[in-house]
Structure 1
Amino acid sequence: MMEKKSTRPISVFKTIVPILVIILSFSSCNKKKPENGPIYNKAFKQVILDARKDLATHMITGFTPGTSISVSVDGEIVWSEGLGMASKELNAPVTRDTKFRIGSSSQLFTTFLIAKLQEEGLLDLDDSFYDYIPEFPKKDFDFTPRMLAAQVAGFPESSRTQLLQQDLKIRTLKDYISEYENDPLVYEPDTYYFKSDYSLALLGILAEELTDQNFSSLIRETILDTLKLDDTMIDSQLSIIPNRSNAYHRDFIARLVNAPSVNLAPMAPALGFLSTADDLNKAAQQILEPGFFNQESIDLFHEPYQLRTGQQLNSSFGWLATVDRDGRKLLGQAGSTVGGSSAIAVYPEAKLVVSICSNLGDDMDELPVLKIASHFLKQIAPLPADTLGTPAE
C-alpha cells in the first residue's frame, strides 16, 4: 500500500505567502518617489493647471512627441515635469532627466565661458580677435569677441540646409572653423545683426587658444561641473548617452518622421548641446544677480547691444534682451535645430525663469515659453488692471 504524502510543506507555503505579500505591500508604501518625478508646488496649483493646458495644447496642435518644462521663482523650482514621449518607437515617456537637443540655446554656455574668461583677466572683449589668433585669415574689417557674441561681426547667417549637407570630413570644431575660414564677411561689423553659428564657433576656438584646452573640457570644468549641470553635455552621435531623447522632424508635407542624422559636435559652441529643462533653468538663474558671475558680467547679459550706427538691438551678449508687451524686462533664449528645440524666458524683476525643451526641431511653431510665463506673472507680479495686457508670443 502506498504511503500517504505529508501535507506539511504545502501548509507552510500557504502560511508564508500571505506574510510575504503583507511585508512587500508595506515596503512598497515606504518607497520614495523617483527623483525624476514631477514637481508641483501647491502654492501655484491653479497656475500650473492653466499653464499645463496651454503646453498640452501646443503639443497636440504641433504634433510634438515629447516636451519638458521647468519653472523657478526666486531660485526655487515650483513646477517641473516631462510630458509625452521621448521615444515613440519604444513607448518611453519623457521625464525630468530626458536630454534634448537645444539648438542655438547652446550659445548660453559659450557666452558664459567667455564671460568667465574675461573675469579671470584672460581677454578683453573689445580687443581685436586677431590679437589672440593672429593666424586667422584677415578679413576686410576688424572684429572683436564682443561683436562675435552679439552676432554683429559680419559673418553670414546660419543655414539649416548647410547643416544637413555638411561634409563628413568636418568632425571637430577646428575642422568646422577651417572649412569656412577663408569666406569673406557679408557686411561691415557693428552695423547689422545676423544670427551666425560661425561667430559662436569662433568664440569656442578663442577659448581653446586662451587656455590651451579643448572646448568640451573647458565647458565641463568651468561651467557644467561648477553649477552641477549633470544632465548637460555636448551631443555625440557615437556615444551612448543615458536618457537621450529620440530626435524628430517634419518632412516636406509636415508629417512627423525620425530626424535625419546630423553631427552637431563640430558646431558645439553654437548649437551642439544636449540638456534638460531643469539644467537650463538652473543655468539661466545665474544671470539674475551676482554670485557665479560678477556684476560686470551680469550687466553684459542684461544690457541690449548698441551698434555703432546708434541702433539698439533687442539682444545682448548672447541673449535676447528686451521688454514684453507689458513693459517687463525680458531676457531669453530660443533654439531650434534638427531634432530638437528649446526656449528660456527670464524675468529679472520677478525672479521668474521658465525653460522648455522638445524633441521636435521646428521653426514653424515656437515653444510657448512666454505664454507659460504669463500665468505665473499674474500671481507673483500682477499688474494693475488698467495696464494689464496680453503677453508677447
Structure 2
Amino acid sequence: MQRRQFIHLSSLAAAVAVLPGCAAVANLTTGPLIERHLPKDYSGVVAVRKDARSTLVTHAGGLALREEKQPVTKDTRFLIGSITKWISAVTVLRLADMGTLDLDAPIARHLPELPAANGAVTLRQLMSNRSGIPNGLLEALKKDRAAVEKLEIGPVEAALRFGTGTPTSSPGERWDYSYTNWILVAAVVERARKEPFTETVEELVLAPSGVRDTSFAATGYEDEVGMAVAYNEAGLRKTSPVPPMIVASGTMYSTASDLVKIADTVYFTKLLSDKARKELSTVVVPSEDYALGGKVKTIATKEGARTLAWEAGAIGAYKSLLAYDPADGRVVVLLNNTDMPQSEQARIAVALFQDM
C-alpha cells in the first residue's frame, strides 16, 4: 500500500519556540516509569514530563500501519478527537482578547439568519455545551448517515442547516455534548474573521506554538505518510469521516510533543491574557468537570492535589488524552490507535502522575 506524502495545511513559517526555563524535547523512546504502567501490547505514544524545566520522555510502541508493519514512532501523528474542542476554545479566547468576539454576546450578532431563540445563545454557552439548541447534526445522521457524511459543507452552511431546531431548554440550563454546538462556534468565528475556521486556528494558536505536525485532517487522511491508522479489536480499520463542518470539534491530528508545545504556549506564554486563561480553567458544569472546550480535573498525588487541564478525545478507534498541570507544566500524553477504552487511558494517566 502506497501512502501519500503528507502536506501541512498551513503556509505559515513559524520557528519552533523554546520556552524560557524549559528544556528542549529530547529524542527518547522509552522510560521505566512509562513502561511500568502500560499494557505490553500498547499501540501508540505515551509522553511524560515532571515539570516545564524537565525533558519530555516519550515511549512509542505497536504499529502505525499494520498492513505494512510500519511501527509507531514518537513523531507519528494521531487524530486527537475532542482535544480539538480545547484548541478551538483557545482560539475563541484569543479572539475575545483581541476584541473580535464577546463570549457573552448573542451569536445573532454574527449569525442573524438563525431563529431568534437560537441566536440569543452565547459563545460561552456553546463552548460549555449548554446552549439548549438540539443536536440537528445527530438527528440528520440518524435519518441518513451516508448522505450526511458525504456533505462537503463548511461550518456556516452547516450552522444554518443543523442549528435551527427549536431549543429544548433555556440557554445555560442543561448539558448536551453536541456536535452542533461546535458547528455554531466555528460558524461564528468564520463570520467574525471572514476566513475559514482552520486558517484562524493555524494563525492564532498553532503558529505561535511552533508546531509542525498538527493541523486539520481531510478526506483520505489515513493514507498520509506519518499518520497512524486506527484499528478495532478485530484488527480491522476503524477510521471516521472528517467532514469540514465539524472542524471545531474533532478533526485535528497531532503528535505527543506538539500537544505539549501547545499546552506550554497556552499556560506559560502571553498567548492568552490572564483573564482568558482563567476562563479556560474555570469549571462551568461541575457534574461533568467541564470548563470551556474541555475538562478540569483534580487528582490526588503523593505531593498533594493537582488540578489538571484534562483533554480527552475519541474518533474512530483513535483515543487520546492530554493531562496537563498549569501550575508547573507536569504532563502526561497518551495517543492510541487500537480503540483503547478512555477509562483505561485515564487510569494510566493518573497512575503516571502519581508515580512521577
Q: TM-score range by the shorter chain?
A: 0.7 to 0.9
2:130 is the alignment partner of 1:152: yes
2:104 is the alignment partner of 1:114: no
* Change in CA separation of 1:303 and 1:140 when aligned onto 2, cut-off 3 Å: closer
* SS of equivalent to 2:248: helix
* SS of equivalent to 1:221: helix
Match of 2:294 among 316, 319, 340: 319
Q: CA deviation at 1:183?
A: 2.2
Whole-angstrom distance in 2 between the partners of 1:123 and 1:141: 15
Whole-angstrom distance in 1 between the partners of 2:140 and 2:72: 29
Match of 1:127 among 105, 110, 121: 105
Query: Cα RMSD (Å) of the superposition?
Result: 2.9
Q: Partner amino acid for 1:69?
A: V
Q: CA deviation at 1:124?
A: 1.3
* Change in CA separation of 1:226 and 1:332 when aligned onto 2, cut-off 3 Å: same
* SS of equivalent to 1:279: helix
Whole-angstrom distance in 2 between the partners of 1:345 and 1:296: 21
Q: CA deviation at 1:238?
A: 4.2
Runs of 5+ in structure 1 lacking a partner?
1-34, 380-393
Runs of 5+ in structure 2 lacking a partner?
1-23
Q: How is 1:320-359 mapped onto 2 (pairs within 5 angstroms)? A: 320-325=295-300, 327-359=305-337
- The one-character-per-residue Cα deviations of 1:99-139 (angstroms, maximum 9, x if unpaired) are 11111111122111101101111121111111222122333
Match for residue 256 of structure 2? Answer: 277
Q: TM-score, normalised by structure 2?
A: 0.81
Count residues with an aligned counterpart. 324
Identity of aligned residues (%): 18
Q: CA deviation at 1:266?
A: 2.6
Q: CA deviation at 1:258?
A: 0.9
- The one-character-per-residue Cα deviations of 1:280-319 (angstroms, maximum 9, x if unpaired) are 122122343452222111101111116xxxx675211112
- The one-character-per-residue Cα deviations of 1:312-342 (angstroms, maximum 9, x if unpaired) are 7521111211312453212211110113121
* Change in CA separation of 1:38 and 1:162 when aligned onto 2, cut-off 3 Å: farther
Match for residue 10 of structure 1? Answer: none
2:27 is the alignment partner of 1:52: no
Q: CA deviation at 1:241?
A: 3.4
Whole-angstrom distance in 1 between the partners of 2:133 and 2:61: 38
Whole-angstrom distance in 2 between the partners of 1:230 and 1:357: 17
- The one-character-per-residue Cα deviations of 1:247-302 (angstroms, maximum 9, x if unpaired) are 2235xxxx231125523433111001111111112212234345222211110111
Whole-angstrom distance in 2 between the partners of 1:142 and 1:97: 44
Over alpha carbons, which structure has the higher Rg?
Answer: 1
* Change in CA separation of 1:75 and 1:234 when aligned onto 2, cut-off 3 Å: farther
Q: How is 1:53-202 mapped onto 2 (pairs within 5 angstroms)? A: 53-57=36-40, 60=41, 66-72=43-49, 73-74=51-52, 76-139=54-117, 142-156=120-134, 162=141, 165=146, 166-202=148-184
Match of 1:302 among 265, 281, 295: 281
- Large movers: runs of 4+ above 6 Å: none
- 1:342/1:367 contact within 8 Å kept: no
Match for residue 39 of structure 1? Answer: 28
* Change in CA separation of 1:289 and 1:305 when aligned onto 2, cut-off 3 Å: farther
